[in-house]
Amino acid sequence: MPAYEYKCETCGYCFEQRQKMSDAPLAACPKCGAALRRLISGGAGAISKGGQSSYSEAGPACGMGGPCCGGGGFCGGE
């Protein structure tokens, strides 16, 4: 199942979501409920099948404490 990167247009929260290709894109931020933007990923990465949560705090292009989603800001900072 592919993983898609999302970024909230309001609070800037970045996360990765595994979804079927046939699934509709997510629309609401899981933190604040505002509109999301699905990002174009730079490439494929390894996806672990472990864990119960479907959200990942740090995706490949969206590392905590590093440049965020190509936007020039930093992830995880509130």
Please report which helix (H) or strand (E) contains residue 55, including its range: strand 55-56
Structure tokens of 56?
A: 């990942």
pLDDT computed for residue 58 by the predictor: 46
Q: Give the tens place of pLDDT for each residue, 16-61.
A: 999 998 999 999 999 999 999 999 766 555 556 665 544 554 444 5
Q: Give the tens place of pLDDT for each residue, 36-47.
A: 999 976 655 555
The pTM for the full model equals 0.54
pLDDT computed for residue 10 by the predictor: 96
What span, in angstroms and rounded, lies between the C-alpha atoms of 68 and 3? 17
Contact 71, 7 (CB under 8 A): yes
pLDDT computed for residue 40 by the predictor: 78
Side-chain-facing half-sphere of 56: CA atoms under 13 Å: 19
